[in-house]
Amino acid sequence: MNPLESLVPRPAHAQVRPGSFVLDQHTSLGLQPRSGLDGVARWLRSELALDLPAVPVADAGIVLGLDRGLSNEAFTVDVSDRRVIVRGGDPAGVFYGLQALRQLLPASAYRRAGAAGAWTIGGCHIEDAPRFGWRGLLLDVARHFLPVHDVLRVIDLAAMHRLNVLHLHLTDDQGWRLEIERYPLLTQVGGWRRESQLGAGPTAQGDGRPHGGWYSRDDVAEIVAYAAQRFVAVVPEIDLPGHVQAAVAAYPTLGAGLDGVTPDVWTRWGISDHVLSLAEPAIRMVEDILDDVVGQFPGAVVALGGDESPKRRWHRDEAADARKAELGITRDADLQNWLLRRLATRLADQGRRTLLWDEVLEGDDVPGAIVASWRGDRGVALGTRRGYDVISCPADSVYLDYRQSDSDDEPVPVGIALGVEDVYEFDPQPPTLPPGGGTVLGAQCQIWTEHVDSARRLDYLLFPRLAAFAEAVWTSGPRDVHEFTQRLGVHGERLRALGVEGRDPSGPRPWQSRPGVPGNPMTRTAMADHLSTIVAGMRTE
> What is the average pLDDT across 438-452?
97
Using pLDDT thresholds of 50, 70 and 90, give the confidence band for residue 537. Answer: confident
Average pLDDT of 351-375?
A: 97
Among 110, 128, 146, the domain-final residue is 128
Q: Which residues of 475-492 are buried (b: 16+ CB within 10 A; e: fewer)?
A: beeebeeeebeebbebbb
Q: Return the pLDDT at 521.
A: 95
Average pLDDT over every residue of 24-53: 96
pLDDT digits (tens, 9 = 90+) for 226-265: 999 999 999 999 999 999 999 999 999 999 999 999 999 9
* Number of other residues whose CB lies within 10 A of the CB of residue 365: 15
In the predicted model, what is the mean pLDDT of the chain? 96
pLDDT tens for 466-496 read: 999 999 999 998 999 999 999 999 999 999 9
Shared domain check, 323 and 232: yes
What backbone torsions phi and psi does residue 321 show, to the nearest 5 degrees?
Answer: -60, -45
User: Looking at residue 116, what is its pLDDT?
Assistant: 67
Same structural domain for residues 83 and 144? no
How much is the average pLDDT of 127-153?
Answer: 98
Say how many domains are in the chain. 2
**In this predicted structure, what is the pLDDT of residue 113?**
84
Lowest-confidence region among 4-13, 222-231, 343-352, 529-538: 529-538
Q: What is the pLDDT of residue 536?
A: 83
Instruction: Give the pLDDT of residue 226.
Output: 98
Q: What local confidence, expressed as pLDDT, does residue 442 receive?
A: 98
Beta bridge partners of 121: 21
Kindly state whether residues 258 and 405 are assigned to the same domain. Answer: yes
CA distances from residue 289 to 174, 298, 314, 341, 400 in whole angstroms, order as listed: 18, 15, 22, 16, 30
Write the DSSP assignment of 44-94 as a string of letters: HHHHHT----B--GGG-SEEEEE-TTSPTT-EEEEE-SS-EEEEESSHHHH
Asked if 320 contacts 314 with a C-beta cutoff of 8 angstroms, the reply is: yes
Same domain, 117 and 162: no
The CATH number assigned to the domain holding 309 equals 3.20.20.80
Query: How many angstroms separate the CA atoms of 274 and 431, rounded?
Result: 39
State which residues form the domain around 247. 134-534
Whether residue 282 is found in the same domain as residue 217 = yes
pLDDT of residue 232: 98
Give 417-440 pLDDT, tens digit per residue.
Answer: 999 999 999 999 988 787 778 899
Strand partners, 175: 172
Asked whether residue 52 carries a pLDDT value surpassing 80, the answer given is yes
Q: Are residues 10 and 71 in the same domain?
A: yes
Q: What is the pLDDT of residue 42?
A: 98
Q: Which of 297, 289, 268 is nearest to 168 (CA)?
A: 297
Where is the domain boundary, 89, 108, 128? 128
Considering 128, 148, 181, which residue would you say is the last residue of a domain? 128
Q: What local confidence, expressed as pLDDT, does residue 431 receive?
A: 80
Q: How confident is the model at residue 115 (pLDDT cuts 50, 70, 90)?
A: low
- Distance from the Cα of residue 145 to its chain's centroid: 15
**DSSP helix/strand/coil, 191:** coil
In this structure, are strands 75-79 and 84-88 parallel, antiparallel, or unpaired?
Answer: antiparallel
Q: What are the Cα distances from residue 296, in Å, to 234, 288, 289, 404?
A: 11, 13, 11, 36
CA pair distance 175, 238, nearest whole angstrom: 11
Ramachandran angles phi, psi of 510, nearest 5°: -55, -40
Asked if 364 contacts 337 with a C-beta cutoff of 8 angstroms, the reply is yes
Average pLDDT over residues 268-291: 98
Residues 252 and 372 in one domain: yes
pLDDT at 371 over 90: yes
Cα gap 351→371, rounded to integer Å: 18
Residue 539 lies in a domain: no
Q: Is residue 540 part of a domain?
A: no
Query: Within the chain, what is the greatest distance between any pair of CA atoms?
Result: 77
Quick one: pLDDT band at residue 17, thresholds 50, 70, 90? very high
Per cent of the chain over pLDDT 90 is: 93
